[in-house]
Amino acid sequence: MEEVFVVNGVRKDELLPAFNDDHGGVIVELKEPMDPNNFRSRLRASLFQWKLQGKKGVWIKIPIGLVNLVETAVKEGFWYHHAEPDYLMLVNWIPVIDSTIPANATHRVSIGAIIVNDKRELLVVQEKNGKLKGKGIWKIPTGVIEQGEDIFAGAIREVKEETGVDTEFVELLAFRQMHKALFGKSDLLFLCMLRPLSYKIQKQDLEIEAAQWMPLEEYAAQPFTQKHSLYKYINDLCLAKLDGSYAGFTPRPITSIFGDSISYLYVNKQDLNRRIFSLN
């Protein structure tokens, strides 16, 4: 006789639909509304089965429309892994030891854009919000990279949005890793040199108080620039790049190990080319 019931009166065909991941675990994506009590029975029976099968991590993705099932999952031993506006991902680790559950995303990525025109003027802004608000400090345009956006593309977009200036990417000069930036997450700030393709400034009103082209010496002379090492470095890097003595990183397309998608590897192209050239 076929075994129809798994545990607690739950039929085999009522187990939660799950697919395997690459790490010995299973992923459940809830889609249909369910009564919380029914969900609890099905979840318990499914966990029982997965345990017998030696599964490790169990992931449950609950869309925000099924928020009424979240409490049940937590009461059955699941905890939060990450959330996006429209869903919550919960996780549970079946074995007693050795959890290798991958961490949630840990970093926000932002860019700072260093743009100099042919009069040696730097494109600078004053911000309407945040900690520099109302302080009269001129700084380079900065902004946060969107999900899925390349760093070089994000730099061009942010400058256009904040100042109306069109640019092209030249080189990545440096980057800063800072911890506890936002909700305990870290921030990677990539300092990019861009070349202006237009000069007329049209500032964005929501975030930007003022924008202008400012002589580099004036930027450097601001007490704030003098006092803060990041702002001083921005000035030093800018001058070093302008006089041709500095090599940063340039993005080069590479294909992914699996699949055809293109990623970018940022390397010191100058040094790498020189070496490859000298070998040929």
Least distance from a copy of itself to the Cβ atom of residue 148, Å: 5
CB-CB contact of 16 with 43 (8 Å) = yes
Least distance from a copy of itself to the Cβ atom of residue 210, Å: 18
Task: Using DSSP, state whether 248 is helix, strand or coil.
Answer: coil
Least distance from a copy of itself to the Cβ atom of residue 168, Å: 18
- 126 φ/ψ angles, rounded to the nearest 5 degrees: -115, 140
The 3-class SS string of 147-176 reads CCCCHHHHHHHHHHHHHCCCEEEEEEEEEE
Q: Please report, as residue ranges, which positions from 63 to 122 form the binding site for a copy of itself (by CB under 8 A).
A: 64, 67-68, 70-71, 74-75, 79-89, 98, 100, 102-109
Q: Please report, as residue ranges, which positions from 162 to 181 form the binding site for a copy of itself (by CB under 8 A).
A: 173-180
Q: Please report, as residue ranges, which positions from 184 to 243 form the binding site for a copy of itself (by CB under 8 A).
A: 184-186, 188, 206-207, 228-230, 233, 236-237, 239-240, 243
Least distance from a copy of itself to the Cβ atom of residue 209, Å: 14
CB-CB contact of 200 with 119 (8 Å) = no
How many residues lie near a copy of itself (CB under 8 A)? 90
CB-CB contact of 47 with 94 (8 Å) = yes
Question: Which tokens in the block code for residue 10?
Answer: 């739950």
Least distance from a copy of itself to the Cβ atom of residue 131, Å: 6
CB-CB contact of 171 with 89 (8 Å) = no
Q: Give which of 248, 112, 118, 109 is closest to 170, Cα–Cα.
A: 248
Tell me which residue has tokens 């892994």. Answer: 81
The 3-class SS string of 48-91 reads HHHHHCCCCEEEEEEEHHHHHHHHHHHHCCCEEEEEECCEEEEE
Q: Give which of 29, 18, 32 is closest to 65, Cα–Cα.
A: 32
Least distance from a copy of itself to the Cβ atom of residue 179, Å: 5
Q: Please report, as residue ranges, which positions from 21 to 40 form the binding site for a copy of itself (by CB under 8 A).
A: 22-24
Tell me which residue has tokens 């802004």. Answer: 125
Told to check if 7 binds a copy of itself by CB under 8 A, we report no
Query: Which residue, 5 or 217, has its beta carbon nearer to a copy of itself?
Result: 217
* Stretch in the footprint of a copy of itself (CB under 8 A) among 7-15, 61-69, 115-123, 209-217: 61-69
- 261 φ/ψ angles, rounded to the nearest 5 degrees: -65, 150
* Stretch in the footprint of a copy of itself (CB under 8 A) among 39-47, 193-201, 211-219, 255-263: 255-263
Least distance from a copy of itself to the Cβ atom of residue 241, Å: 9
Q: Please report, as residue ranges, which positions from 259 to 278 form the binding site for a copy of itself (by CB under 8 A).
A: 261, 263-268, 271-272, 274-276, 278
Query: Which residue, 37 or 278, has its beta carbon nearer to a copy of itself?
Result: 278
